[in-house]
Every structure is written in C-alpha cells, then in structure tokens.
C-alpha cells in the first residue's frame, strides 16, 4: 500500500520529497512467483508482491523475467509449475516442469532475479515424468531435496549443487508438502510459491520491466506516424566538421556475407544442379516424417505403363549414397522423369552436361535415351548414352537446348527391356560461375559477388550445428567425388546433397576475393534441436569420449585448407584440383549455442587445440542468438576468460531497435574479444528497413576497430520455398531479385574504408529523435587514398548538409550515389552521378535516403 501511495503521491507532487517518502518503504514483502497456464508458460516467470499475503500487486505487468528455453522453436519452450527459492548462499534458484510428459525438468539460477544463468535440463529415470516440484534444504547434510509428482506417485531426488542428482526414489504422499498458494490477480487466479524479499528486490524488478517496456516501445518506432511525429520539422540543416587527427584504423574485412543452406539457397539455389533428388537419397527424416511424399522417389515420376520404377539399396554405388533407382522395362517407350526445382530452366544454345551412374545388373548392354522436354512436349535436346557395364560406371553426354524454356523436364528412356540400376543422375549447365565443374549458378553467384564481400561465412547458422548430434555438419562428408559425399537432412526440413561442399565454398571465396570463414559446431547441435533419441535431449553434445576425434576433424580442416600437398589432407585438396593453399585464417566455432556447461567444456577443448596447434587461425566464438540475455552474457564471459580473439553476435530486430541503438558498440571494451556481427537484419524488406540497416552500419563503421566483420542474414531465398523472411536476395529459376536491403549492403561493400575519420555533426535543431534518424560515417580507403562519406537520412524531411573537407585534403572529383524513395517502397533505383568537388561538400539529403560520396584522391 505504502508503495502505491508513494507512486501516486510522486505523480502528484513530483520527486522533490522522494527522500522523505523512502522512509515509508517496507523492509520486506512477499514475492509470489508464477507462470500462466493460458500460454503453457511460454511467457515465462512472472511476479506479484504483497505486504500481507492477501492483496497481491503485479510486478512489471506480467513481464517474463525468465523464459523456458527447452526444445524446438514454438512447440516447446514451456514452463509449468515453477518453484522459486534461494539456496544456502542466498542465490535464487528456479525449478519447473517442462511439459509433464518427459523425464526431464528445468533448473536455472540467478543472483538477482533479473539476469539469469544458463538453464539446465537434468534427466530422470526413463519411466518418470516431473510435475509440481517443491524444494527443501537440509542444513546439516547441506543437501537439497526436490519432491515432485510423476503420474499419481510422489518422488524425491537429492542434490547438493544442482549439477549432479541422486536417483529419484518414491516417497509416500504424506512426505510431499506443496506450499504453493493460489492468489487472485487482475488476470484471474494463479498458483505459485511465495518467498520473502527485501523491498529493493521488488523495486529492481519493477525498474527492469519498466526499462524493458521503454525499450520495447523504441523497437516499435516506424515510419507510419513520421508525418505527425516530425510535423514541426520543415527542414533541417546539418554541419559536419571532420576531425581527422582522431582517425583510427578500422577492419578491412567489415562487410561480408553469410551463406546458409536455408530457403533452398544451396540445392535448388546457388548450386547449379538442375535435377532434384538426383541421388535418390531424399528421406522422410528430412521432413521429420511429416510428409509422406518426401521419400527416395521424390521429384521422380514415370511415363507409360511399361516401366516399373523401384528404389533399392542392396548394391550401392557408395556406402554414403545407399539408394538408387531400379528400372524394369517390359516394353521400351516409357521414361523416368525429373522436373527439377519447379521445372528446369534452359537457355537456347547453351550446353548442359548430363551424367549418371549405370549398372546393367542383368548383364545386357543397353542404350539410354536422355531428353530435355519443354512443357508443351517439344523436345529441346536429346542424346543416346550407350551403357555396357555390369558394375556401377559413370556415363556422360552433353545436351544443347534448342530453345529457351522456363520449366522443362528431363526424361530418361531405356531403349531395351530388362533391369537397369541408376544413380546420381545429374544435369548441370556448362556455363556456371567462372565455368567451374560442379559449380555455382552464375547469376546468383555474380549477384552475391557484386556486394564485394570481404568474407563469406558458410555453410550456416543452424545448418552448421544441425538438428541433433547426428545431424551436425561434418566437413569431411562434403568433399571428394560427389557420389561419395554424404547427404543428410537439412535442419530447415529439406535435403542437402552437399554437392555444394567445402571445396566449392572455398573455391567460390577465392573466385570473388573473399576470406573464407567456415563455421563448425562446437561439439553441440542447434539449441532448437528436436529432442534427442540418444538420451541427450535439447541441445545435447558429442559424447566426451568422442570429442578428441571431433577436435581432430577441426584440426584436419586447417591442414586440408592450408597444408602442403604432401600432407594427408592437403593432398586431397590438391587432388580435387587446388594444389595451392586456400589461405584459411578464420574458423567460427559454434553458432548461437546455449552457453551451458556441456557447451563450455566442448568449446574449450576445441579452442585450446586450435590455439595450440594453429595459432595462426583466428577462432571466433559464439554469444547466443540475441544482443542480451544469459547466452550473450555468459558467452561473453567465457570468451573473455579464454581470451578468444573474436565472438559472433546475432540479432534480428525491428528497424526501431537499429535506430535507437546507435551507440551499441561505442562502450564495448576494446581489450576484450573483437566482434563479428555474424547475423543481423531488421524485420523487413522495405526502404525504411534498409535505411535503418544503413544507419546502423554507419555506427558499425565508427566502431570498426571493435567490430571486425558484419554480415546480413539470411542471404538467399528461393521464392515459394522460404523458411525465413526477410532475406537479402530472392530468386526463382530464371530471375534474381535483390532487395533494397541488398542495395545497402552493396553500397557499403563497394565503399569500404580502412580508416575511420571522426567528425562533429551540428544540427539546426538539436533533438534526440531527429539526431537518431541521421547517420554519417567518413572513412578513408588507404589503398587508393579516396575518402568516402556515407549519409543516411531517415527523416521525412530533407536535410541540407555542409561538410568542410579542408582538413581531409580531397581530390576534385567525386561520385555521388543515391538511394531514396518512399519508406514503404520495396524497390528503389540507385543513381550514380559524377560531380566536381571543392573544399566544402554541400548536399541536400532527400527524405528517406542513403547518399554515398566517393571522393577520389
């Protein structure tokens, strides 16, 4: 009551008598911890307080102070029957039931109820479930006892540290004493448990929720009400005074790309193969057994009635590629058909390499007619392949398209009766990027290259650490002859042939002058993995007794990429066609993993081994999926403690967040690990989103001494096959559709500098909201002496700008590149003009615009 009185009073008369009122604060109150069943506890742990245990007041308006992080996206993440208590040292602990059907529970600790450590999900015996935990502490044995309900029985487990637990034992119902109470809150009756806390705890919780609410409101900033919000602002003038004396070197690798095989970015995307399921390795597991059409026959059909098409695996071409097609021909004339990814696109006059492995198990030689057939049935190309081998043998032919086609199909017709086995049936355009065999789709590869990325991170994100331990991306499975590579389910619920494998990634990096940045799992799979059948569940990890082997696999990668041709792994690289080293300098270890003990143990092993054996490699650690929270904090703590040179930060946010956090890196400790902002994007593909990203990138350039690299995510998305939106570049079979966000990346990539030149910005109207909508960054490219000025105006009004160049000693010629339009636009032209320049740069920054001045020396 006193607190409420105080707030009302303060509202009425201001804060001047704050001190006097503090005396009215209670020493302690009751804190009620609960979660709501309406959303299965997904909104986390809430609090209410009371002075008398009768009248309860919400704390932070049902803010979720800690949320369950268990299980796959969306489906799990449930918190049931939480029990909050303090341990013997006064540290807060919370235990809850996950979903009352599994033999695990959740545990988390916190020093202050505001920041929370990593969650743990201990296991119980298989037959047990876990509900309504109650925790008691026995001082004499220094032991905690968790009593809980499983089915209709009662159990207890003891622990001294919440890391190791004794086996659960049954107890009589009378020994289970639930002290939860049910109270009435504005939203209705809820059940939870009560602790006694100092009033300052409630104050801190309230303050936290208020701040989060304020930040949340900032994230909602958009252009929708700009005309009202900025109505008094008719125009604004800005004066920029550079201070080159204070210049500082910045990273020369700042803008790069992050390629992940998501949204069909690899198979059906950048990887130029035109046939889908060429290896007959699609498996129901790719789709978690939720799609009955997703099997070894997917994408293949037959025509005519005299062809029997089955799948077998008894005499495989390679152990990694077990399935193959068996065609039994009663009467020639029927065909096996593949329509690629939404049809096969062809260009008139272009050559297409057709290859396949054939085994004539019936001992007969036979001809196979292969055709490219247009949607209207017209034949665009055909060739006959003569096969005679009774063992698996590769055959090839070239097909030249007689006309353009958007959605042709591939047909294969055995010309004699009997049984023939087929595998790895491939159709590849001869014209790939740089005409590489097994190469990349040229238009997509060129569009990415046009960003002028200084590095490429690959092969993912979540894909890299995979859906469970068995799905971790293992680089060794992705090199060598394609028929010997090991395809596997893609965490994004499709199939990865790994035809685009490590060799191809490194080759592409080299082809476009980008530094390769492979990211490897830290011995743990994706934090959103399904529940493991191997007893690990949630994230799990490679068993410690297999970790030496896994660590060796990572060390072998360095030898494969950089070792001499005489080395075991360097030899394989040379045999694949690249005797020269690939010049690998960076390795990412982990991808936004939960920073658990399990993770830390494995990461430390890998990191120490790399540091010891390859000090020339910069290891990039991981600090969770957000710019705050427990994984961020603990990831940073671990990386700082181990002195990892760099960490990978990820955040997907609203434009409002990017606008309102211009100083995010300004106060980063320069003595701590450097930052790789490996994944970021504002939620959308409008000009407003793109400009918010541009604005943020000007701040990143200012912090280019601590932020070493940055990459937007995700990069590629096949239309109608996306698992994630927004993306940077959309495509279909015949078109590439870069977004306006892409234009921003391209402008930054092509206008990078190596030195940041600080400047002072003076506005005709000083106002925080206005200032936050203006971005400026001046850099010098020391390789050619050019000065680049980037100017972002996210205001609905023009800004006239004057920039004094005298101290920068510029040349007299400049290019001015402009991207502007209406904030909701999705496509905006970029115009470039060449302009003579003097000692003062004067420009009118249009509303919602990004202007880049490149002043040549």
Q: Which of the residues 76, 592, 701, 743 is marked catalytic? A: 592
> SS3 for 339?
coil
Give the rounded distance of the alpha carbon of 346 from its chain centre.
33
Q: Which window, 193-201, 458-466, 557-565, 745-753, contacts ligand AHR (CB under 6 A)?
A: 458-466
Please identify the residue of the shown chain whose CB is closest to the bound ligand AHR.
461
- Closer by beta carbon to ligand AHR, 593 or else 743: 593
- Torsion over CA: 601, 602, 603, 606 (sign): positive
The CB density around residue 646, as the number of other CB atoms within 10 Å, is 21
CA distance 689 to 157: 51
> What is the β-pairing status of strands 131-138 and 105-110?
unpaired
The 10 Å CB-count burial string (b at 16+, else e) for 46-63 is: bbbbebeeeebbbbbebb
Residue 116 φ/ψ, nearest 5 degrees: -125, 145
Q: What is the rounded CA–CA span in Å between residue 796 and residue 849?
A: 10
Query: Of the candidates 813, 673, 799, which has an alpha carbon nearest to the alpha carbon of residue 237?
Result: 799
Please choose, out of 44-52, 366-374, 455-463, 473-481, the segment that lies near ligand AHR by the rule CB under 6 A.
455-463
Q: Does 461 bind ligand AHR (CB under 6 A)?
A: yes
* Cβ atoms of residues 74 and 91 within 8 Å: no
Among 36, 334, 490, 591, binds ligand AHR (CB under 6 A): 591
Selected range binding ligand AHR among 27-35, 351-359, 460-468, 475-483, rule: CB under 6 A: 460-468
Interacting span for ligand AHR (CB under 6 A) from 16-24, 459-467, 611-619, 753-761: 459-467
- 462 or 803: CB nearest ligand AHR: 462
Task: Show the binding pattern over residues 608-627: x = contacts ligand AHR (CB under 6 A), - = does not.
Answer: -----------------x--
Beta strands in 662-794 (DSSP E): 674-682, 707-712, 716-718, 729-731, 736-738, 755-756, 759-763, 774-781, 786-793
**Closer residue to ligand AHR in complex, CB, 113/498:** 498
Which residues between 709 and 748 bind ligand AHR (CB under 6 A)? 713-714, 724
**DSSP states of 700-719:** HHHTTTTEEEEEES--EEET
Q: Which residue is associated with the tokens 């402009």?
A: 818
Identify whether the C-beta of residue 326 lies closer than 8 Å to the C-beta of residue 418. Answer: no
Choice between 322 and 500, CB closer to ligand AHR: 500
Nearer to ligand AHR, 739 or 849 (CB): 739
- Nearer to ligand AHR by Cβ, of 559 and 649: the residue is 649
Site string for ligand AHR, 633-652 (x = CB under 6 A): -----------------x--
Q: How far lies 459's CA from each of 257, 463, 689, 715, 729, in Å?
A: 11, 7, 26, 11, 17
Of residues 370-399, those binding ligand AHR (CB under 6 A): none
Residues in binding contact with ligand AHR, number by CB under 6 A: 13
Give the interface segment with ligand AHR, choosing from 190-198, 454-462, 804-812, 834-842 (CB under 6 A): 454-462
592 binds ligand AHR (CB under 6 A): yes
Dihedral (CA of 559, 560, 561, 563) sign:
positive
Among 745, 267, 733, smallest CA distance to 463 is for 267
Query: Considering the complex, what minimum distance in angstroms separates the CB of residue 676 from ligand AHR?
Result: 13
Q: Does 631 bind ligand AHR (CB under 6 A)?
A: no
592 is catalytic: yes
Least Å distance between CB 308 and ligand AHR?
41
- Cα–Cα distance, 120 to 101 (Å, whole number): 17
Cβ proximity to ligand AHR, 260 vs 273, nearer residue: 260
Per the CB < 8 A criterion, the answer to whether 472 and 551 are in contact is: no
Chosen residue from 62, 260, 267, 649 binding ligand AHR by CB under 6 A: 260
Spatial contact of 118 and 631, defined as CB atoms under 8 Å apart: yes
Which CB, 194 or 451, lies closer to ligand AHR?
A: 451
Give me 457's structure tokens: 């991170």
Complex with ligand AHR: residue 260 or 649, whichever CB lies closer: 260
Binding mask 675-714 for ligand AHR (x = CB under 6 A): ----x---------------------------------xx
Residues 6+ apart with CB under 8 A from 611: 619
Q: Partners of 588 in the beta sheet? A: 519, 620
Q: How far is the CB of 652 from ligand AHR (least distance, A)?
A: 7
Member of 44, 71, 133, 460 binding ligand AHR (CB under 6 A): 460
Decide if residue 206 touches ligand AHR (CB under 6 A).
Answer: no
Query: Quick check: 462 binds ligand AHR (CB under 6 A)?
Result: yes
Q: With beta carbons less than 8 A apart as the criterion, state whether 346 and 371 touch.
A: no
Residues marked as catalytic: 592
Which residues of the chain form contacts with ligand AHR (CB under 6 A)?
260, 262, 460-462, 591-592, 625, 650, 679, 713-714, 724
């Amino acid at each position: 009551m006193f607190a409420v009185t105080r707030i009302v009073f303060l509202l009425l008369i201001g804060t001047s008598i704050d001190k006097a009122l503090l005396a009215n604060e209670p020493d302690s109150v009751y804190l009620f911890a609960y979660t709501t069943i309406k959303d299965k506890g997904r909104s986390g742990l809430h609090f209410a307080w009371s002075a008398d245990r009768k009248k309860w007041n919400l704390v932070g308006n049902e803010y979720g102070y800690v949320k369950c992080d268990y299980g796959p996206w969306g489906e799990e993440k449930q918190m049931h029957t939480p029990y909050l208590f303090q341990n013997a040292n006064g540290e807060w602990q919370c235990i809850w039931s996950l979903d009352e059907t599994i033999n695990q529970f959740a545990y988390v600790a916190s020093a202050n109820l505001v920041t929370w450590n990593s969650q743990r999900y201990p296991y119980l015996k298989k037959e047990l479930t876990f509900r309504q935990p109650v925790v008691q502490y026995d001082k004499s044995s220094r032991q905690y006892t968790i009593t809980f309900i499983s089915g209709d029985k009662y159990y207890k487990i003891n622990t001294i540290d919440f890391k190791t637990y004794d086996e659960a034992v049954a107890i009589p119902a009378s020994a289970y004493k639930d002290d939860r109470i049910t109270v009435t809150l504005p939203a209705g009756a809820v059940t939870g448990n009560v602790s006694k806390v100092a009033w300052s705890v409630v104050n801190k919780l309230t303050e936290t929720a208020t701040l989060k609410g304020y930040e949340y409101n900032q994230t909602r900033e958009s252009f929708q009400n700009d005309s009202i919000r900025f109505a008094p602002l008719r125009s604004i003038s800005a004066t920029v005074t550079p201070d080159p004396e204070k210049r500082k070197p910045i990273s020369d690798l700042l803008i790069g790309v992050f390629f992940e095989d998501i949204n069909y970015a690899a198979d059906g995307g950048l990887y130029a193969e035109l046939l889908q399921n060429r290896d007959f390795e699609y498996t129901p597991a790719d789709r978690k057994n939720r799609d009955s059409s997703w099997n070894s026959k997917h994408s293949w059909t037959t025509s005519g009635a005299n062809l029997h098409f089955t799948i077998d695996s008894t005499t495989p071409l390679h152990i990694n590629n077990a399935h193959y097609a068996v065609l039994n021909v009663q009467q020639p004339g029927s065909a096996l058909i593949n329509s690629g990814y939404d049809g096969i696109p062809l260009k008139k006059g272009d050559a297409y390499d057709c290859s396949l492995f054939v085994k004539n198990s019936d001992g007969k030689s036979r001809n196979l007619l292969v055709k490219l057939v247009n949607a209207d049935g017209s034949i665009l190309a055909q060739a006959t392949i003569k096969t005679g081998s009774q063992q698996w043998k590769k055959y090839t032919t070239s097909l030249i398209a007689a006309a353009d086609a958007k959605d042709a199909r591939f047909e294969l017709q055995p010309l004699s009766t009997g049984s023939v086995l087929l595998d790895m049936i491939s159709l590849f355009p001869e014209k790939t990027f740089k005409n590489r065999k097994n190469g990349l789709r040229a238009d997509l590869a060129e569009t990415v290259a046009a960003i002028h990325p200084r590095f490429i991170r690959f092969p993912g994100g979540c894909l890299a650490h995979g859906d469970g331990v068995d799905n971790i991306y293992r680089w060794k499975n992705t090199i060598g002859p394609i028929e010997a590579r090991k395809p596997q389910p893609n965490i994004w619920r499709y199939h990865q042939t790994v035809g685009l494998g490590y060799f191809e990634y490194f080759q592409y990096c080299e082809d476009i002058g980008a530094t390769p940045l492979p990211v490897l799992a830290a011995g743990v799979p994706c934090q959103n993995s399904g529940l493991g059948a191997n007893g690990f569940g949630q994230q799990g990890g490679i068993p410690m007794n297999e970790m030496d082997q896994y660590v060796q696999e990572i060390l072998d990668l360095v030898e494969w990429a950089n070792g001499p041709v005489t080395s075991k792994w360097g030899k394989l690289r040379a045999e694949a066609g690249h005797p020269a080293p690939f010049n690998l300098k960076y390795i990412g270890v982990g991808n936004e993993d939960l920073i658990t003990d399990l993770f830390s143990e494995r990461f430390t092993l890998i990191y120490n081994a790399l540091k010891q054996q390859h000090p020339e490699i910069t290891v990039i650690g991981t600090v969770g999926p957000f710019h705050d929270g427990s994984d961020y904090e603990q990831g940073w703590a671990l990386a700082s403690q181990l002195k990892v040179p760099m960490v990978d930060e990820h955040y997907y946010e609203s434009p409002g967040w990017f606008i309102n956090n211009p100083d995010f890196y300004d106060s980063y400790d320069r003595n701590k690990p450097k930052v790789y902002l490996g994944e970021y994007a504002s939620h959308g593909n409008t000009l407003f989103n793109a400009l918010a990203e541009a604005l943020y990138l000007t701040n990143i350039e200012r912090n280019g001494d601590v932020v070493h690299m940055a990459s937007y995510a995700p990069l590629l998305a096949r239309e109608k096959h996306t698992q994630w939106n927004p993306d940077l570049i959309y495509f279909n079979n015949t078109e590439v559709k870069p977004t306006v966000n892409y234009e921003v990346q391209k402008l930054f990539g092509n206008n990078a500098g190596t030195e940041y030149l600080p400047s002072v910005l003076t506005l005709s109207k000083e106002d925080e909201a206005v200032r936050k909508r203006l971005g400026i960054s001046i850099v010098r490219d020391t390789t050619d002496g050019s000065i680049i000025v980037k100017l972002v105006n996210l205001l609905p009004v023009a800004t006239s700008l004057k920039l004094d160049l005298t101290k920068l000693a510029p040349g007299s010629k400049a290019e001015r590149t402009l991207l502007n339009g209406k904030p909701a636009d999705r496509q905006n032209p970029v115009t470039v003009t060449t302009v003579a320049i003097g000692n003062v740069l004067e420009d009118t920054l249009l509303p919602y615009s990004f202007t880049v001045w490149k002043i040549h020396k």
